[in-house]
Amino acid sequence: MAFAGHTDVVPAPYPEQWSADPFTLTDVDGLLIGRGVADMKGGIAAMLTAFEHALPHINLDDFTFYFLITSDEEGEAEFGTAEIMEYLKQRDEVPHYCIIGEPSSQSKVGDVIKVGRRGSVSGEVVIQGVQGHVAYPQDANNAAHKAMMLGRWLSELSWDEGSKDFLVVSYKSLA
């Protein structure tokens, strides 16, 4: 069984908008406030604590536990979970179960446990236009307009049908 998590965090460009300094772990009425606490250092702390409690009750001859902790998850990750999974596959070691401590709660901790994990698709799009003078719009082709049409098309694309654990949220239905 594996516990998977990441230590990297997203930027905090406006610390003045936080209820406490994001760069100092602060206890605010029992809630720990700090950069990356929710996503997902709190999850790693919970996993380590759970493992510490479980350890005396586990026969390690029967189980292998993995802590798959990457610092390359947020943004365009290259050397995170995908790299770890490739490494484990080469060693013919693939965990049967994996618990990921990502934040999934709606209103209080633990009220939602997700089964599975959403995927993601990344890519790079180059949109080329043709520059021109405003007096001769027929000779120009505005790349920003093309980008907006692409954005609309992508937002209306149906990627899959969802499942009982993963709803499909279409931007059409939000409009």
- With CB under 5 A as the rule, give the number of residues binding Zn ion: 3
Among 2, 40, 47, 68, binds Zn ion (CB under 5 A): 40
CB of 136 to Zn ion, least distance (A): 49
Binders of Zn ion among 16-35, rule CB under 5 A?
A: none
Amino acid identity, position 33: I
Q: Which residues are catalytic?
A: 8, 73
Q: Is 9 in the site for Zn ion (CB under 5 A)?
A: no
CB of 168 to Zn ion, least distance (A): 21
Q: Is 44 in the site for Zn ion (CB under 5 A)?
A: no
Q: Is 39 in the site for Zn ion (CB under 5 A)?
A: yes
Give the 3-state secondary structure of residue 68: strand
Q: Classify residue 146 as exposed, middle or buried by CB count within 10 Å of its CB (0-12, 13-18, 19+).
A: middle
Positions that interact with Zn ion (CB under 5 A)? 39-40, 102
